């Protein structure tokens, strides 16, 4: 009986045809022309803001590149990943939305899917490295003190190699990149999991190594940081001004990292849920009009980071200037006495 069940399972997987093989033209838009125009304008605004914001972060960081701390080097790498998504990927989808179809063929589809996966994976692994750096700096000072700039650059090389490996594996015949159900964008072929056991194994590997494991590390790191900060805030208050300033800077970098990670996960988790359902749920059960919303939300992730960085930076500058004014008042009082 079990053999018959497995045989039936195999045959049903072999009989399954993904959406892009069921129709003669997989790149024709399945949305209304009005919906495509709205999506095109939305991505245009997101692309411009993301390019300007991340470009500004990279430009300002380049002016003080020799003074960047390890966490700030990681933040610059995150801006590079987000800029890559905006410059390399978004023009393809914007043109396609306005054209009411994907106009770049299968080669363009595979390139677009690879670039999105490459830079998206690079962003998440960079944030994982940042969370670990924050965790060591705040919770394990004996380890955090030896993290220097050259360690950050070694970490960057590992991040880019990791993202290159997982985004390029599909080209080795394990998987592929395919058009989204709505036709005007491309992504990893999640639907391959419906067709073969090998496809299921690959999709599960991608989910674990490129989403679940990094997310678990990020959540663990920041939960530990929050618990540590609650217990050590009173202790820091008794230290001298120099130690307090160093602690304030570390907490500023930690707030930036936490908000960036939260923004990334909020933008990408809905897309991940829809993708997993497409891979392991009922075939083609996700409505086409519904599937486009998580995709557009995920594409907005690159815009949040420079905004978060600048808001926290401005707050920090205001606090720092307020602190300087207080110190100046104290010194004036001392002189007058």
CB neighbours of residue 98 within 10 Å: 17
The two beta strands, 186-188 and 177-179, are antiparallel
Question: Is 332 among the domain residues?
Answer: no
Question: Is 4 among the domain residues?
Answer: no
pLDDT at 108: 94
Question: Is 335 among the domain residues?
Answer: no
Q: Which residues contact 31 (CB under 8 A, 6 or more apart)?
A: 39, 182, 183, 184, 288, 289, 292
pLDDT at 244: 55
User: Helix, strand or coil for residue 178?
Assistant: strand
Name the domain count of the chain: 1
pLDDT at 185: 92
Question: Is 18 among the domain residues?
Answer: no
Alpha carbon dihedral 198, 199, 205, 211, in 10-degree steps, equals -170
Question: Is 33 among the domain residues?
Answer: yes
Residue of 117, 115, 88, 112 whose CA lies nearest to 183: 112
The whole domain housing 292 covers 26-320
Per-10-residue mean pLDDT, the chain, length 337: 41 60 81 94 93 90 84 87 90 94 93 94 91 83 72 93 94 86 90 80 91 91 81 54 58 74 85 85 76 88 75 50 42 40
pLDDT at 333: 38
pLDDT at 32: 92
Question: Is 228 among the domain residues?
Answer: yes
pLDDT at 311: 59
Q: Look at the pTM and tell me if it is higher than 0.85.
A: no
Question: Is 157 among the domain residues?
Answer: yes
């Amino acid at each position: 009986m079990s053999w018959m069940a497995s045989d039936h399972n195999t045959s049903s997987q072999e009989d399954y045809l993904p959406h892009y093989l069921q129709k003669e033209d997989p790149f024709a838009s399945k949305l209304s022309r009005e919906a495509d125009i709205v999506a095109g304008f939305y991505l245009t605004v997101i692309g411009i803001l993301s390019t300007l914001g991340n470009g500004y972060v990279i430009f300002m960081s380049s002016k003080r590149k020799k003074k960047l701390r390890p966490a700030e080097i990681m933040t610059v790498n995150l801006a590079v990943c987000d800029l890559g998504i905006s410059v390399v990927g978004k023009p393809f989808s914007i043109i396609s939305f306005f054209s009411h179809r994907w106009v770049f063929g299968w080669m363009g589809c595979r390139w677009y899917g690879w670039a999105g996966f490459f830079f998206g994976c690079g962003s998440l692994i960079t944030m994982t490295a940042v969370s670990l750096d924050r965790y060591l700096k705040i919770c394990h000072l004996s380890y955090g003190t030896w993290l220097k700039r050259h360690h950050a650059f070694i970490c960057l090389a590992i991040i880019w190699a990791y993202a290159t490996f997982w985004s390029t594996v599909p080209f080795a015949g394990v998987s592929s990149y395919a058009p989204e159900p709505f036709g005007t964008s491309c992504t990893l072929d999640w639907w391959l999991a419906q067709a073969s056991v090998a496809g299921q194994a690959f999709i599960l590997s991608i989910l674990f190594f490129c989403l679940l494991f990094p997310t678990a590390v990020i959540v663990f790191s920041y939960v530990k940081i929050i618990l540590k900060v609650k217990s050590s805030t009173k202790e820091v208050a008794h230290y001298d001004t120099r130690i307090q300033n160093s602690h304030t800077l570390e907490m500023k970098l930690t707030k930036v990292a936490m908000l960036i990670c939260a923004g990334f996960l909020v933008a990408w988790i809905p897309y991940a849920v829809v993708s997993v359902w497409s891979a392991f749920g009922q075939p083609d059960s996700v409505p086409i009009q519904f599937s486009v919303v998580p995709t557009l939300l995920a594409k907005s992730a690159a815009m949040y980071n420079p905004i978060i960085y600048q808001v926290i930076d401005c707050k920090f500058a205001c606090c720092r200037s307020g602190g300087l004014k207080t110190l100046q008042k104290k010194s004036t009082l001392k002189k007058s006495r």
